[in-house]
Amino acid sequence: MHTKQRPLSPHLQVYRPQLTSAMSICHRISGVALSVGTLLLTYWLVAAAAGPEAYARAQSVLGGFFGSLILFAFTGALFYHLCNGIRHLMWDAGYGFNIPTVYRSGYAVMIAAAVLTVLVWLLALLFGGS
Amino acid sequence: MRYRTPIKGALGLGSAKDGVHHWWMQRLTAIAMVPLVLWFSFSLISYAGADYEVVRAWIGSPLVAVLLVVLIASVFYHAQLGLQVVIEDYVHLEWLRIASIVLMKFATVLLALAGILAVLRIALGA
């Protein structure tokens, strides 16, 4: 029996890319990225507890060009995962399974995630640093 | 009619009976984090660039400290559950899969405790 040699589903390489499958794997990727990125939250809190010098160092790291770039990507991943997570919770509750609704909720998630990301950064640039 | 053979019960194979708990805790932490993440993100808009003492006073105020502790616990619990499934799906070598899951669980607990201790140190003025 060569059971281990058998190809396993779902044969992703023979599927035409679809919004549904792309958003599904993006949920996973953003989840893993957020798990790693949450190191920054811990770092920021530990620096705030450690003292003014450590906090100033953390602020310069996170507020620098690369820090801001990573934080922007983190915000995007966060709001995507949050919005798509709500979509998943709706499915868990048994709603929104017919195909047109799945596509509509998919587009709604992408728009909501983009709007929230841009809104947070716009407000941060306008009112932050006070 | 019972389809299960007695040998199945004797060997103790099959469900470890904690799949539903994993699924349910992932959903509970997700629901808790919807308002917490929105609150934290929009709070950071005004506090991210603020002076050290202002930020400390914010983190240390009783309500914020409690919400931050709940947020940190939910984040790392949720991350632990999610990462476990990802590792189980993609790491096929058994020893590497088990080692990755153990290391990941240690790391998430360590990070959660570090974050919670930092908030408590600030809140309690240590």
ipTM for the complex? 0.88
Give mean pLDDT, residues A31-59.
96
Confidence of residue A130 (pLDDT cuts 50, 70, 90): very low
For domain B18-123, the CATH architecture is Up-down Bundle (1.20)
Shortest CA distance from A125: residue in chain B: B45
Q: How far apart, in whole angstroms, are the C-alpha atoms of residue A31 and residue B84? A: 12
Angle (CA) B119-B123-B126 rounded to 5° is 95
Q: Nearest CA of chain B to the CA of A100: how many Å?
A: 25
**Chain A residues within 8 A of B106 when measuring between CB atoms:** none
pLDDT in tens, B46-92: 887 889 999 999 999 999 999 999 999 999 999 999 999 999 999 99
Q: Is the dihedral of CA B81, A10, A77, B63 positive or negative?
A: negative
- A-chain residues within 8 Å CB-CB of B121? 49
Do A48 and A55 form a contact (C-beta atoms < 8 A)?
A: yes
Q: How much is the average pLDDT of A76-101? A: 97
* B100: Cβ contacts below 8 Å, ≥ 6 apart: B87, B91
**Tens of pLDDT along B3-50?**
777 777 777 666 666 788 999 999 999 999 999 999 999 999 888 788
Q: Does A130 touch chain B (CB under 8 A)?
A: yes
Domain ranges of chain B: 18-123
- H-assigned helices in chain B: 6-11, 19-47, 52-60, 62-90, 94-123
Encode pLDDT of A102-122 as tens digits: 999 999 999 999 999 999 999
